Structure 1
Amino acid sequence: MVSYCMPRARIPLLVNVPYPSVRSNIERMMALEVGVEVFVSNNLIDEIDLDEAKRVGQELRGRAIPCTLHAPYMDLSPGGVDRKVVEISRDRLKRAIEIANLMEARGIVCHPGYDRWRFGGHEQLWLDNSVETWGQVLKEADKGLLVMVENIFEEEPATLLSLLGHFKDRLWYCFDSGHFNLFSKLPVEEWLVPLKDHLREFHLHDNHGRSDEHLPIGRGSFPFRELRQFLQRLPDIVCVAEIANEEMVIDAIKSARAYLT
């Protein structure tokens, strides 16, 4: 087994791994002392054997590897207008919840589906449809499973706050630093303070404000110094080094662990 010399982070650190690659990377996770956020893609979700998903969860727990899931999101619109699209979105999210339940994951991160180019001026319509969707989805979640939504295209947190306000202590928030860096019109503190009571997870990655590069911390322009001051005040959270490039994984873990220590 490869040995890695890295300081242990004060806050639990996870890395994102596609579902088909989880089992083959368990020894590596053990060596790196990281947990895993399991990404389940849209088409894969129908192919996952539920008994196998349960066994994967048991293997992770047997090795004391913390686990969360990332739900499918491509083409989905939980607060959409088209009834068929919303129906498919709900089915996909419910299936993802079922897998998370079987794996006994700590939580599952989902995309809320709001952007001003489609729903600007129709926020209430989006909210009403979203509340119906998440009301159904949350009924499928086992007690103890944290169901979270993350910021994607939001320029300010108003729609997230409205949605979360309908599900106090049932629906939670995951802050994504890279998406914030691309779309937010507010500074970090002004964005996070209103959401602090809903926060349970952070996706930590960087970019230069032009595309979703998923770089290690410090490789782009996100204000991580400001975020660190906020992180230090929060209890009971986990952080995910969310990296798209396999070659950057070790660097991403090192930089995230140094940042969180």
Structure 2
Amino acid sequence: MALGFDDVLDVNRLNCIRGLTLSIHAPFFDVNIASYNRYVVEKSIDIMIKTIEICNLLNVKNVVFHHNYSPFMYNFDEDGYTVRFCENFEKVLGYRKGDFTISFENVFETNSSIGNKIINMLNRDFIGFCFDIGHFNLFTEITLQEWLNNWKGKIFEYHLHNNYGYRDDHNRLDYGNINIKDFLMVQKVSIYTIENRNVEDTEASINYLKSLCL
């Protein structure tokens, strides 16, 4: 179910999913609580807080946030970005009332480093990672085994889609150069989310997973 930024204010729209066990993906376009622009930071904190408040109201198991660190945009200053991010995310955490976990997803980063820095600085058992195999395939400079080993025990969710290493296509699982079967054999997690762009591709991905007999 896709919601816009303002939809989270209309709780009545969410009645159809009450009672389900859910993983929610927070808004992420132009959301950056570690920005150098204080106006962006203020609005981004507000968006994250509204997302947490929705998680409090629903039976949410996990919520996924993008930390939105881009090494080229921020001149590879992981430490400075981590400090700004964590100082502002502490303000968001004050609104968490439920027992759901919080996961930070890899996107543009080339290795597992900044993710580790963020969860170590925030230092809560309920904060971990969402590993996105498609984003890994596009940007990584380390092996899959290295990345998963570095995040071992702290990955709460996988995002599953495929691509050919050039664009974030979100293809069905059997269209791309990622060996999905080998990936899924490396390390098990609690939540698996298929991220395709339409119903037909999602159905094809489900059937592909069934064919793997994992």
Instruction: Give the aligned partner of residue 143 of structure 1.
Output: 98
Which of 1 and 2 has higher RCO (CA within 8 Å, sep 6+)? Answer: 1
6, 10, 21: which one pairs with 1:49? 10
Structure 2 CA distance for aligned equivalents of residues 200 and 156 of structure 1: 18
Q: CA deviation at 1:164?
A: 0.9
Secondary structure of 2:153's aligned partner:
helix
Contact 1:241/1:256 (8 A) holds in 2: no
- Equivalent-residue separation in structure 2 for 1:172 and 1:41 (angstroms): 25
After the TM superposition, which parts of structure 1 deviate over 4 Å for at least 4 consecutive aligned residues?
Answer: none
Distance 2:13 2:33 in 1: 28
Aligned match for 2:179, one of 223, 230, 235? 223
Alignment gaps of 5+ in structure 2: none
**SS state at 2:24 partner:** strand
Q: Provide, for residues 1-54 of structure 1, a one-character-per-residue CA deviation record: whole Å limited to 9, x for no partner.
A: xxxxxxxxxxxxxxxx31xxxxxxxxxxxxxxxxxxxxx333544xx412443x
Name the CA distance, whole Å, in 1 between partners of 2:194 and 2:87.
32
1-structure distance, mates of 2:5, 2:59: 21
8 Å CA contact 1:109–1:149 kept in 2: the answer is yes
Are the equivalent residues in 2 in contact too, given 1:176–1:203 (CA < 8 A)? Answer: yes
- 3-state DSSP class of the match of 1:215? coil
- Length-normalised TM-score, structure 2: 0.91
Superposed counterparts of 1:20-99, under 5 Å = 40-45=3-8, 48-53=9-14, 55-58=15-18, 61=19, 65-99=20-54
2:200 is aligned with 1:244: no
Partners in 2 of 1:241 and 1:116 — Cα distance?
A: 27
Percent of aligned positions that are identical: 25
Task: Answer with 153-162 or 141-150: which moved more.
Answer: 141-150
Q: CA deviation at 1:260?
A: 6.7
Q: Which runs of 5+ in 1 are unaligned?
A: 1-16, 19-39
Residue by residue over 1:214-261, the C-alpha shift from the partner in whole angstroms, topping out at 9 and shown as x without a partner, is 112221011324312213xx3x51100111123212112212344473
What's the RMSD between the two structures over aligned residues?
1.8
After TM superposition, the structure 1 stretch with the greater mean CA deviation from structure 2, 198-207 or 244-253, is: 244-253
Residues 80-132 of structure 1, C-alpha deviation per residue, up to 9 Å, x if partnerless? 11111111111101101111221221111111110111113322221111111
